[in-house]
Amino acid sequence: MTVSIEFFGIQRSITATDRITLSVSDDTKVHNVLAYVRQRYPGLPLEEGSILVTVNQHVASLDRHLKQNDAVAFVPCIGGG
């Protein structure tokens, strides 16, 4: 199946792209994708506690199974000005 990973803000300066698409196996979980991104973009700040992982715009646990066309993103904690 195919899933996408979206990059925002300062992340794009490192990835040089808005989004990448991955072909993954059916049992892929969020943490597998996170591990892949960390390996591919070692400079990307993805520390636990500093970012939230969202799938299709909702916060997701690292154990969540991904489905076809899911969009994964790493979003900072935004508290409002």
Partner 1 sequence: MEILKQFKYQPAKVVGGYTDRILRLDLDKNEISIQELPAGFKEKYVGGRGYALKLIWDETNAATRYDTPDNLLVMASGPLGNDPGFPGTGKFIVGTISPLTDTFIDSNVGGHFGPLLKLAGFDALAVKGISNEDVVVLIDGDAGTVNIAKAPEYDEWTNRGALSYGESLLKAVNNGEYSDTLAAVVAGEGAQHARFGIINSLFFDRRRNRIRSKQAGRGGTGTAMRAKGLHGIVVRSSLPKANGNNAVDKKLARQAGAKLKSVIAEYDAKQLSLGVWGTAGLSEYMDKFHLFPINNYQYGQSPESPKLFARVFLDKYFVKNIPDGCYYGCNLACTKGSENTLLTCGPKAGQKMGIDGPEYETVAAISDMGIFDAQFVMEYNWYCDEYSLDSISTGVTIGFLMECVQRGYLSSTDIGYDLKFGNLEAADRLLHEIARGEGFGKIAGQGVARCKQWVAARYARNNNVPEDNVIAELSKFAMEVKGLEFSMYVTRESLAQQGGYGFALKGPQHDEAWLIFIDQVHKELPTFEQKANALKWFPLIRTWFNATGLCKLPWIDVRNPQAAATPEPAKNVPTLNYYVDYLNATTGSKKSLEDVLNDSERLQLLQKLINLRQGKGTRASDQIPLRAMAPVYDNEYAYRADYYDEWLKGRTDGKIPSVREDRHRLLIEKRRQDFRQLSDIVYEKKGYTAQAIPKRETVERFGLMDQQAAKLLDKFGV
Q: Which residues bind partner 1 (CB under 8 A)?
A: 6, 8-10, 12, 45, 47-52, 54, 57-59, 73, 75-81
Quote the least distance from Cβ 25 to partner 1, whole Å.
27
Backbone angles phi, psi at 36, to 5 degrees: -60, -45
Q: Is 41 helix (H, G, I), strand (E, B) or coil?
A: coil
Closer residue to partner 1 in complex, CB, 8/69: 8
Dist. CA 55–CA 73, nearest whole Å: 6
Q: Which residue, 10 or 35, is less far from partner 1 as judged by CB?
A: 10
In the three-class reduction of DSSP (H, G, I as helix; E, B as strand; rest coil), residue 10 is classed as: helix
Q: Least Å distance between CB 72 and partner 1?
A: 13
- 58: phi then psi, degrees, rounded to nearest 5: -125, 145
> Which of 8, 65 has the CB closer to partner 1?
8
